[in-house]
Amino acid sequence: MKRRTRVRGQSMVEFAVVLPIFIMLLVGIFDFGRVIWVNDTLSTAAREAARYAIVHGGSVSTLCPAGPPSPDASEPDVTCPPYPNGTAYPAGSKEAIRDVAHHWAAGAGSDVSVSICYGEVTSCAGDVDEAAATNARGTPVTVTVTSTVGLAAPSLFGFGGFDLSATSTMLVNH
């Protein structure tokens, strides 16, 4: 009669080998979902900030224009409460547009940067407008929102986050 030997500890060794791989896979899935979420958040922030800029463009009927004033718009000596935080900025300032972008990109991290450019520009960086660009009707306004996404899985191997960016261009229509 043969005596059957039992192998003890085999399942613990297999578990110890498989567990780190499973955890890395799980963390990678969460990281991938976060990247998709931040990308969507930045796209929404750029689109909503550009929409705010085109709706609050300069014309004679706009009392609180956002962006560089158009030649036909009067320069009121008023401060205008922007959406969403209620801080008063002078008319013609880009800060209200920037506030809208930061409001919509709140979940993208703390290092969100916003560039707002008026006119036909090849890339919007550093708030550089086209020469003599205004916020008159028909002028394109480009809003670029960037952020760095820190990920958990790559940081275990010494890699940092990576930059995500979203751009939206619309024509001033008010």
What domain range is 163 assigned to? 10-171
Tokens linked to 130: 């086209």
Using CB atoms within 10 A of its CB, is residue 113 exposed (0-12), middle (13-18) or buried (19+)? Answer: middle
Distances (CA, A) of 89 to 67, 111, 156: 11, 23, 44
Please report whether residue 161 resides in a domain.
Answer: yes
Q: For residue 71, what pLDDT is reported?
A: 56
For residues 135 and 106, the answer to whether their CB atoms sit within 8 Å is no
Q: Is 79 helix (H, G, I), strand (E, B) or coil?
A: strand
- Domain membership of residue 166 (yes or no) is yes
User: How many structural domains does the chain have?
Assistant: 1
3-state secondary structure (DSSP) of residue 152: helix
Best mean pLDDT range from 30-39, 63-72, 105-114: 30-39
Average pLDDT (17-23) is 91
pLDDT class for 41, splitting at 50, 70, 90? very high
SS3 of residue 145 by DSSP: strand
* Residue from 50, 71, 35, 72 nearest 149 by CA: 35
Residue 65 inside a domain? The answer is yes
Q: With CA atoms as reference, report the closest residue to 134 among 76, 59, 82.
A: 59
